[in-house]
Structure 1
Amino acid sequence: METNHGHGHLVIIGGHEDRTHDKAVLQRFVELAGGPEKKIVVISAASGVAEKMWAIYDQAFADLGVARRAHLRIESREDANADTVLRELADAGGIFMTGGDQKRLMANIGGTAFDRELHAAYLKRGVCIGGTSAGASAMSGHMLATGHAGTTPEKGAVNLGAGLGLVRGVVIDQHFSERHRLSRLLTVVAQNPYLQGAGIDEDTALVIERGVGIEVIGQGAVTIVDGRTMHSNMASAASGECPRLVDVRLHLLPTGTRYALSGPGEDGDVPAALRDFINTVTKRIDYHENH
């Protein structure tokens, strides 16, 4: 997938990306934001230690040659509606959301002027938006808000909330392989079979170019769980019970995977089983559909 700064990109990171050595994932984010000469804005609203989080990314982006770096201190909905905050977004090439708690992030920014400007930056100006861990989960319209990862799927083990809606029809989970979260993602699609699940490993990112295609970068893989053809007894299962799930599709996309919708990517034509997922995540949502 070629770099094209006009379409808008999402860099959805599974957490614990390298920030001190080669910084491959963050380097790609900077490239897609237009290069080190562009302004990078960091939002640490998900974190309970915002200044510490900012210091980490300030240093990482400085090491990558980014001279124009800004920290948006959003600790309340009043902050997210402040003109001073919105002005920082006006000339940003890249907007990066740190880890922490996605519920805290959405409580502070969901439905605010910042939320609207974030969508406008992506959908109208083609800005690159990155998010790691909690910042990754919050990008989806249906956000994984709470849930534990047991050894098997479990009815009632997860709860969804409203996310930013930069990606629709897909629930994003992070720290995926490292925290053994396949059972959690299976629970999500069993309870919500119209959704697909995307589990992203640490130091790994699913990169989405709007209207074009996807790529996987970093050190791990992205796991796609598709339960739309599934047969399940989830509706009749008791709370806490492991449901029966038959004909669930699982796709593993290791780092280096690239697929483009218009013509073959580096891995050839998009497989039929993946085409709907890629169509869904790259869909050219109109700005007015979200607002």
Structure 2
Amino acid sequence: MIPNSINRRKFAQLSIAAGVSPFIPYGHSKSNVNGKLLIIGGAEDRLNERIILKKFIELSGGNQAKLKFILAASSEPSSVWSSYSNVFKSLGAKNVEPIALLSREDAYNPDVVLNLLAADGIFMTGGDQSRLMTELWETPAYQAIHQVFHLNGICIAGTSAGAAVMSRQMISQGQAPIITQKDVVSFDIGLGLVSMAIIDQHFSQRRRLTRLLSALAQRPDLLGVGIDENTGLVITLNQSIEVIGDGSVTILDGREMISNYDEIESQEKLELLGVKMHLLPSGSSYHVKAYRAEEKRIASLLDAINYLVLPGPARL
């Protein structure tokens, strides 16, 4: 067992040193702070217009922002860092730094925690989401990510595996079947920055609609959110969503769905009745308050968006 080298008192001291108040009731966010998430479906453009990466810099505060990168999901962190470092520096970012977090033991290091607490933007790269959560789950580094998101309202971005961990209920593995079947995906616990949705990435390119529907059959209380490659979903907590990049975001809402999930055996075909699907191409943008009283034709979408922008519990 790894010793908890940072107790709550030490964590509070590190928080104060980084300019973040450590005191917040469990399960609450500051009402006047709206953290931002940039959830990327993977394979984002790093060579041409680089719209999504520019957006991360913008949401983090501009070229002077302190941008921190978590490479823990990758099996080749050095090469991944070399690529991102070169791209962001070429885009004018002045303060770009990898977090020395490549093992669970690192997640207890006070220097790592202080580095996270000082971030204006945190970017989680692709790789294996289960590896990433194994290293982060219930560690001081995990607490620090929640701290700066819920209290400072910084931007947290994630691509591919980094996108999958955004949700509380995370798809850890599972192939996309040709026909929607029961229990074809396995779940694990993610970061929980998105509380009421399941995130799936590489969505259209890997034909994952059946996979996400299968996941929704297991958890009909959650939204299913599928994000295409080189596409970003920007969520501002309690406020809005925006789709940027080349592709689309698919939102599946099964909260009123009727299914045969409890009546069939594992791997058998699913019957799903009453699933609502919203397809939002790049350029789509909805502000919850501005549209709350709008016409009935978008009421179902706005209801889903209201659900999507809800903040999850602050895990401190």
* Bin of the TM-score, shorter chain as denominator length: over 0.9
After superposition, what is the alpha-carbon deviation per residue over 1:63-104, rounded to whole angstroms, capped at 9, x for unaligned? Answer: 110111110132211101101111212321110000000000
Residue 12 of structure 1: SS of its match in structure 2?
Answer: strand
Pairing partner for 2:64 from 33, 37, 52: 37
**Is 1:192 equivalent to 2:219 in the alignment?**
yes
Pairwise CA distance, 1:7: 2.1
Q: What's 1:84 paired with?
A: 111
Pairing partner for 2:279 from 227, 252, 256: 252
Pairing partner for 1:142 from 161, 165, 169: 169
CA distance in 2, matches of 1:281, 1:226: 11
Could you say if the C-alpha distance between residues 6 and 36 of structure 1 is closer, same or farther in structure 2, counting changes exceeding 3 Å? farther
Q: Is the 8 A contact 2:195 2:312 kept in 1?
A: no
After superposition, what is the alpha-carbon deviation per residue over 1:105-134, rounded to whole angstroms, capped at 9, x for unaligned? Answer: 000011110110000111000110000000
Pairing partner for 1:59 from 60, 71, 86: 86
CA distance in 1, matches of 2:106, 2:118: 19
Residue 244 of structure 2: SS of its match in structure 1?
Answer: strand
TM-score by length of 1: 0.93
AA of the residue aligned to 2:157: G
Q: What's 2:241 paired with?
A: 214
Q: Which deviates further from its counterpart, 234-243 or 29-38?
A: 234-243
Q: What's 2:192 paired with?
A: 165
Cα-Cα RMSD? 1.8
Could you say if the C-alpha distance between residues 122 and 194 of structure 1 is closer, same or farther in structure 2, counting changes exceeding 3 Å? same
AA of the residue aligned to 1:158: V
**Is 1:226 equivalent to 2:257 in the alignment?**
no
After superposition, what is the alpha-carbon deviation per residue over 1:132-177, rounded to whole angstroms, capped at 9, x for unaligned? Answer: 0000000100000111101111112101111100001100000000
Could you say if the C-alpha distance between residues 237 and 12 of structure 1 is closer, same or farther in structure 2, counting changes exceeding 3 Å? same
Q: Which deviates further from its counterpart, 187-196 or 125-134?
A: 187-196
Q: Percent identity?
A: 43
Q: Which deviates further from its counterpart, 224-233 or 273-282?
A: 273-282
Q: Which has the larger radius of gyration?
A: 2
CA distance in 1, matches of 2:154, 2:73: 21
CA distance in 2, matches of 1:24, 1:58: 16
Q: Is the 8 A contact 1:123 1:285 kept in 2?
A: no
CA distance in 1, matches of 2:144, 2:297: 33
CA distance in 2, matches of 1:40, 1:186: 35
Could you say if the C-alpha distance between residues 284 and 145 of structure 1 is closer, same or farther in structure 2, counting changes exceeding 3 Å? closer
CA distance in 1, matches of 2:270, 2:139: 38
After superposition, what is the alpha-carbon deviation per residue over 1:232-264, rounded to whole angstroms, capped at 9, x for unaligned? Answer: 111111221111111111110000000001114
Q: Which deviates further from its counterpart, 276-285 or 191-200?
A: 276-285
**Is 1:125 equivalent to 2:152 in the alignment?**
yes
Q: Which deviates further from its counterpart, 248-257 or 227-236?
A: 227-236
Residue 289 of structure 2: SS of its match in structure 1?
Answer: coil
Pairing partner for 1:242 from 266, 269, 274: 269
CA distance in 2, matches of 1:6, 1:63: 31
Listed as ranges, the gaps of 5+ residues in structure 2 are 1-31
CA distance in 2, matches of 1:73, 1:151: 41
Pairwise CA distance, 1:268: 8.8
TM-score by length of 2: 0.86
Q: What's 1:69 paired with?
A: 96
CA distance in 2, matches of 1:12, 1:70: 20
CA distance in 2, matches of 1:250, 1:96: 29
Q: What's 1:177 paired with?
A: 204
CA distance in 1, matches of 2:101, 2:296: 43
**Is 1:48 equivalent to 2:75 in the alignment?**
yes
Q: Is the 8 A contact 1:260 1:270 kept in 2?
A: no
Q: What's 1:8 paired with?
A: 35
